[in-house]
């Protein structure tokens, strides 16, 4: 433990060793020499002598605490260290020592808090100690899934110990161009310069001071510099970005998100705002932000002593082709991906209903523990209930918890796993990814978009900037996997996020085809277009097939009025021999008219549609139109007419229990409990005779509701 007398003392006081703790280290070094040679009692006796002679020096108590911990006495070590803190609550070496204790005990948040305090307390010239401090902060931040803070800590550690090659190697592994984190987490962020304009010169001095201190070991200094600037001018976008970045470097993700949200709101450059929004998505994935973001990992753990029930369950999963076994990193460990082949109720084992599966999650069995992990809530609940049922477990035997999401799991919900390899397997997987993002994902509300769907956010001036970041973040997380083969510009185009020269057809085969022009097969790819692009077409210029595709695309984008326009254009066309069924168009127009409150128009569409169906389609859709008629009468409050139409339908198709259920529901909505009860009870008898248990249960629920209404 020899130390240069003119180097900063390792206690962290800021003084040179010669004029600080050198007098006590003669005996301290002897104590450590004895410890190294196995003379533990002698080492402790020598350390006790140091403490007795220098009981007012925190470093003496700190060295004793260190020795006690090495000797396997952590409780005594904490007591000794507290003596040091009683003398100096900000004793730097003690803070990093206690942080190390907590880290070894897997108390990561506590260790990180202490390490951050140590970084503030150490003298800036204590380079070796600060390298140790930031190395520990790096490890803690990685475990907290906060890569932006981890990167900043690693840079600081490398700055204070540039000769340590291991730090450079770690940086390359984590944050270079092929690192395991998405680009928004790996990139090197820098402070933005103050905007030009009135008052800019007055700000320059403060900004220059902040930029000069960007490498300060006390990162809190940066917050203290930029926070006043945002208060002086709450409309200064650059100041808000810099404040958010400073908070992110400190691992204070909540405060960083608040500042960056303000930047996105103020920033007029949508690309810059989108980059910041992508950074926000990274921050939302950190520990402690689970309620603020759209991603988390669901985990349940089951300790077991008798392995046979677990083995039996796993064997059944394997027989059912639901397991993709992976190479285990340790001997005796079982690791596999579990697939879902059915999502109806509890998953059943045995022969799969199809040749494809969706990822449910990963299974880990090791050292008496069964663990299931997934980023998908519904599969988590289904597998948990299946395991509980199959192993006859009580409600408390499975331990559940939530963890920060692994970035590699962000795109798992879009994946499909073909169980039989074929020439079209890759295309099947890609088609499913495309369908997921372009038809399902765009309609899902997201916390990062203030509870709005991506489709709704696209039309909001501020939320669309956040949406840019959300899409970019997902694309970055997809790198290195099969989802990366999907062209995310298709999704941007549907959401209207491509502009100018970028507003190109995004087919991977034809990247330069302008939107709205036919592809090499003469087809218009409406499925990849935004609402604005589809609306630009004149319905009269489209063929019947194109009109159908445009209508379906508008429906998937929730563009109701645009879909109505296409539907009205379709029913106005002459009826072709091969296209006599127009129920799809009329059904939509009926539904849309009811939604607008135009009940007369809805009934007119029913009459017109049924007449055309009888004249040109041999009345094949008669029952469908009559069901619509009954529902329209119910919406118009015409109880007798609605009940009569429902009864005619039931008489024609007595075993169509959907008609009976819809009739009961419509009567309930009209507060006609007696009629609802009649439809439900008659249906219960018929469904029982047909041995349709699901319909019996459904109709029994309706009957109970009717009785309650009559009470």
297 with 403: CB under 8 angstroms? yes
In a domain, 355, yes or no: yes
* Among 362, 381, 403, residue at a domain's last position: 403
In a domain, 143, yes or no: no
Report the CATH number at residue 671. Answer: 1.25.40
In a domain, 196, yes or no: no
Once rounded to an integer, what is the mean pLDDT over residues 425-450?
92
In a domain, 90, yes or no: no
**CA distance linking residue 342 with residue 332, whole number of Å:** 30
List 298's β-bridge partners, or say none: 374, 402
Degrees, nearest 5: CA angle 301-304-306: 150
Residues spanned by the domain of 650: 637-711
Once rounded to an integer, what is the mean pLDDT over residues 679-703?
92
CA–chain centroid gap for 288, Å, is: 14
pLDDT of residue 32: 87
pLDDT of residue 350: 40
Residue 40 three-state SS: helix
Q: Are strands 369-374 and 323-325 parallel, antiparallel or unpaired?
A: unpaired
Judged against a pLDDT cut of 60, whether residue 519 lies above it is answered with no
12 with 129: CB under 8 angstroms? yes
Q: What is the pLDDT of residues 450-492, one digit of tens each?
A: 999 999 999 899 999 999 999 999 999 998 889 999 999 999 9
Q: How many CB atoms lie within 10 A of CB 507?
A: 16
Which helix (H) or strand (E) is 227 found in, with range?
helix 220-232
Report the CATH number at residue 360. Answer: 3.30.160
pLDDT of residue 518: 53
In a domain, 342, yes or no: yes
pLDDT of residue 536: 86
- Inter-axis angle of helices 270-284 and 237-249, nearest 10: 20
**CA distance linking residue 278 with residue 231, whole number of Å:** 25
- Name the domain count of the chain: 2
Q: How large a percentage of the chain has pLDDT more than 90?
A: 56
Confidence of residue 507 (pLDDT cuts 50, 70, 90): very low
Q: What is the pLDDT of residues 71-120, one digit of tens each?
A: 999 999 999 999 999 999 999 999 999 999 999 999 999 999 999 999 99
> What is the chain's mean pLDDT, rounded?
87
* Among 403, 429, 462, residue at a domain's last position: 403
Q: What is the pTM of this model?
A: 0.80
In a domain, 666, yes or no: yes
In a domain, 326, yes or no: yes
Confidence of residue 198 (pLDDT cuts 50, 70, 90): low
* Among 387, 403, 419, residue at a domain's last position: 403
Once rounded to an integer, what is the mean pLDDT over residues 557-568?
87
In a domain, 50, yes or no: no
């Amino acid at each position: 433990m020899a130390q240069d007398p003119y180097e900063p003392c390792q206690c962290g006081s800021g003084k040179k060793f010669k004029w600080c703790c050198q007098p006590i280290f003669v005996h301290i070094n002897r104590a450590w020499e004895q410890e190294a040679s196995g003379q533990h009692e002698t080492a402790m006796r020598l350390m006790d002598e140091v403490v007795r002679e220098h009981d007012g020096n925190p470093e003496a108590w700190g060295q004793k605490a260190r020795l006690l911990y090495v000797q396997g006495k952590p409780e005594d070590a904490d007591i000794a260290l507290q003596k040091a803190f009683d003398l100096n609550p900000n004793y730097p070496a003690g803070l990093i020592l206690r942080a190390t204790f907590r880290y070894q005990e897997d108390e990561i948040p506590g260790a990180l808090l202490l390490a951050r305090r140590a970084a503030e307390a150490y003298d800036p010239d204590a380079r070796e100690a600060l390298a140790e401090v930031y190395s520990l902060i790096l490890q803690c931040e990685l475990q907290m899934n906060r890569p932006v803070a981890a990167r900043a800590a690693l840079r600081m550690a490398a700055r204070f110990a540039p000769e340590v090659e291991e730090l450079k190697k770690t940086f390359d592994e984590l944050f270079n161009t092929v690192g395991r984190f998405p680009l928004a987490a790996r990139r090197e962020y820098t402070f933005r310069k103050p905007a030009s304009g009135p008052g800019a010169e007055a700000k320059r001095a403060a900004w220059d001071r902040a930029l000069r201190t960007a490498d300060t070991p006390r990162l809190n200094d940066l917050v203290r510099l930029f926070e006043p600037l945002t208060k002086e001018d709450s409309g200064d976008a650059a100041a808000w970005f810099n404040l958010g970045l400073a908070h992110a470097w400190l691992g204070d993700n909540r405060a960083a998100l608040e500042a960056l949200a303000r930047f996105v709101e103020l920033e007029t450059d949508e690309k810059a705002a989108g980059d910041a929004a992508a950074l926000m998505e990274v921050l939302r994935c950190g520990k402690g932000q689970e309620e603020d973001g759209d991603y988390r990992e669901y985990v349940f753990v089951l300790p077991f002593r008798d392995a046979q029930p677990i083995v039996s369950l796993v064997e059944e999963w394997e027989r059912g082709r639901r397991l993709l076994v992976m190479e285990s990193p340790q001997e005796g460990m079982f690791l596999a991906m579990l697939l879902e082949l059915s999502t109806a109720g509890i998953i059943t084992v045995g022969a799969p209903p199809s040749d494809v599966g969706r990822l449910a999650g990963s299974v880990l069995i090791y050292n008496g523990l069964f663990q299931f992990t997934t980023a998908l809530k519904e599969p988590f609940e289904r597998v948990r209930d299946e395991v509980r049922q199959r192993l006859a477990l009580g409600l408390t035997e499975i331990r559940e918890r939530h963890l920060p999401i692994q970035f590699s799991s962000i795109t798992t919900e879009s994946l499909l796993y073909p169980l039989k390899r074929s020439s079209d397997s890759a295309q099947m997987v890609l088609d499913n990814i495309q369908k997921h993002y372009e038809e399902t994902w765009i309609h899902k509300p997201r916390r990062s978009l203030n509870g709005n769907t991506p489709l709704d956010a696209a039309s909001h001036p501020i939320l669309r900037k956040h949406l840019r970041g959300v899409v970019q973040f997902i694309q970055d997380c997809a790198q290195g996997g099969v989802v990366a083969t999907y062209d995310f510009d298709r999704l941007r185009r549907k959401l209207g996020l491509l502009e100018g020269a970028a507003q190109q057809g995004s087919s991977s085969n034809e990247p330069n085809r302008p939107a709205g022009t036919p592809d090499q097969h003469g087809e218009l790819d409406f499925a990849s277009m935004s609402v604005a692009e589809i609306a630009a077409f004149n319905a009269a210029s489209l063929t019947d097939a194109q009109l159908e595709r445009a209508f379906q695309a508008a429906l998937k984008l929730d563009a109701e009025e645009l879909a109505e326009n296409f539907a009205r254009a379709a029913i106005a066309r002459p009826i072709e021999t091969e296209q006599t069924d127009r129920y799809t168009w009329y059904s939509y127009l009926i539904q849309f008219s009811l939604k607008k409150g135009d009940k007369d128009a809805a009934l007119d569409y029913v009459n017109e549609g049924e007449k055309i169906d009888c004249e040109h389609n041999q009345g094949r859709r008669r029952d469908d139109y009559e069901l619509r008629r009954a529902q329209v009468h119910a919406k118009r409050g015409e109880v007798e007419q609605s009940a009569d139409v429902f009864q005619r339908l039931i008489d024609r198709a007595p075993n169509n229990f959907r008609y009976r259920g819809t009739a009961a529901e419509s009567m309930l909505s009209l507060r006609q409990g007696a009629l609802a009860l009649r439809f439900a009870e008659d249906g219960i008898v018929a469904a029982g005779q047909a041995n349709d248990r699901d319909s019996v249960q459904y109709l029994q629920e309706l009957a109970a509701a009717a009785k309650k209404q009559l009470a």
